[in-house]
Copies of this chain bind each other. A is one copy, B any other.
Amino acid sequence: MAEPQRITPREQDASRWYHDVIRQAGLAEAAEVVRGCMVIKPHGFAIWEKIQAAMDARFKATGHQNFYLPLLIPQSFMAREAEHVEGFAPELAVVTHAGGKLLEEPYVIRPTSETLVGHFFSRWIESHRDLPLLLNQWANVMRWELRTRLFLRTSEFLWQEGHTAHATHAEAQEEVRRMLEVYAEICEEHLALPVVRGTKSATEKFAGAVQSLCIEALLPDGKALQVGTSHDLGQNFGKAFDVTFQNAKGEQEVVWQTSWGTSTRLIGGMIMAHSDDSGLVLPPRLAPVQVVIVPIFGRGDGADAVREAGSALQKELQAAGIATTFDVRDYKPGYKFFEWEQKGVPLRIELGPRDLQAQQLMVKGRLASAKQTWPRTEAVAQVQAFLTQMQADLLAAAHARQAAMTVEVDDFEAFKAIFAGEGSRFVMAHWDGTAQSEAAIKETTRATLRCIPFARDETPGRCIVSGRPSAGRVLFAKAY
């Protein structure tokens, strides 16, 4: 284990700060020998397991079942849906040899599984009675990225991809919206990350979809992070893979499909949203260790009593469902404080002979500026209240930041000024609905049209770049 190192202040170098936080918290590291890929280390993976558990429970509660598709996809499958292959071809990793032989047809490593889903749905769906078919898979996927950044964009990443088939377009659209809402709730209730729900423009939608919905989070630097997408695939893949069903009248129809996904990128967003120059800050609901008890043995012979009291306190908190570590390692308390702070543990409890004497706990919240004391008898109630409050505080702070950094702009010069250099905000501006104006804005400012928010002011106006009529404001930002 390396000695704890300082974290580069965010003000000084935001990119180094981000990587320092990840390194010092033991979340992940670049694989280096595998281009653009990362190793997710135990502390990082434990956070992913918590996100998975929360999400999987909601998927099941909304009637979905998990399944598992092959990693490899015949290369020709990708080409069956024209937009799909165009969107993904540049990012594919290709298996050309296996078992010591050149393959007759190469396989690609899945960048997403709509094509295989199309193939199997066509085998599994026969009648309207088989619909809706509501499936999800937890898997690794690969998209060969040129510029990578831990968690936010890596060539391989872990994700879930939901795939559903429905008898009508209306039902499919309802599903697309339902799953976006599941994502938004997980972000807000678990990651303490408020999001803007909206529709992608035609330029930004998923390759092969009729329409893509998304949730966009504002990060402290004013940039946007797309943390989840939910796609109305219409009948595009159904037609490409001949996925038909017999309706109640005995006629053959093509199914209506959806797909939706979130990934380990969520962890990147969470790190950026809450962490500080002392390291990781974790929303309590996602913290693998919620409380750490650090024994202060002092110089006298009260060590046994401290050890016993610490162990009893750990058991008491664990019994109440609080993930608690009692850190009895042979390091100095200061070293431990520093390490657990960097790892983002929400609450630290110090326990020494004097605390035992006074029947109190000396505690420090991860974001608190000072320690405080709690009566020992109130341990469970105080810890629970603290964790609930911290979860709420993180969300409130993120909400406040989002409100403060969201601006309405009607003047293109002012718009450009906001996005000058590394600048970014959530800018609500009028747009005429054309890909042309969207491209012009992107070219001039590097800001992209993040989404057409569901909840937007629909007062008509004039497009910020073309001056043509606009039906309402849309969200622009630079994006990760």
Contact = CB atoms under 8 A, between A and B. Distances in A.
A40 B68 CA distance: 5
A197 to B, nearest CB: 29
Interface class of chain A by DSSP: mixed
A72 interface: yes
B41 A140 contact: no
A41 B67 contact: yes
Contacts of A107: 34, 93
A198 B100 CA distance: 33
Contacts of A31: 69-70, 116
Interface in A66-125: 66-74, 77, 89-100, 106-107, 109, 116, 119-120, 123
Contacts of A93: 72, 95, 97-99, 107
A46 interface: yes
Interface string A451-464: 00000000000000
A37 interface: yes
Instruction: Choose among A45, A67, A95, A100 the residue with the greatest number of B CB atoms under 10 Å from its CB.
Output: A95
Contact of A65 (B37, B42, B106, B119): B42
Give this chain's copy count.
2
A57 interface: no
Instruction: Choose among A65, A71, A92, A142 the residue with the greatest number of B CB atoms under 10 Å from its CB.
Output: A71
A316 interface: no
A94 B90 contact: no
Contact of A68 (B45, B98, B120, B155): B45
A221 interface: no
B94 A89 contact: no
Contacts of A94: 95-98
Contacts of A158: 68
A68 B139 CA distance: 12
A116 B34 CA distance: 10
Nearest to A38: B70
A246 to B, nearest CB: 12
Nearest to A264: B68
A33 interface: yes
Nearest to A119: B33
Interface stretch (A126-134, A201-209, A230-238, A433-441): A126-134
Interface in A47-68: 48-49, 65-68
Contacts of A146: 99
A286 interface: no
A21 to B, nearest CB: 18
Given A109-B95, A120-B39, A46 B68 contact: no
A341 interface: no
Contacts of A126: 1-2
Contacts of A175: none
A29 B48 CA distance: 29
Contact of A46 (B65, B70, B330): B65
B66 A39 contact: no
Given A2-B126, A70-B38, A107-B34, A99 B144 contact: yes
A70 B1 contact: no
A49 B69 CA distance: 15
A135 B139 CA distance: 20
A432 interface: no
B65 A39 contact: no
A67 B95 contact: no
Contacts of A42: 65-67, 135
Contact of A130 (B1, B127, B142): B1
B91 A99 contact: yes
A179 to B, nearest CB: 17
Contacts of A91: 99
Q: Please provide the 3 A-B residue pairs with the shortest distance between their CB atoms, ordered closest to farther.
A: A99-B144, A42-B65, A40-B68
20 contacts: A1-B129, A31-B116, A37-B71, A37-B72, A38-B70, A39-B69, A39-B70, A41-B67, A42-B66, A45-B66, A45-B68, A48-B68, A71-B71, A72-B156, A90-B99, A99-B146, A109-B109, A129-B330, A139-B140, A140-B140
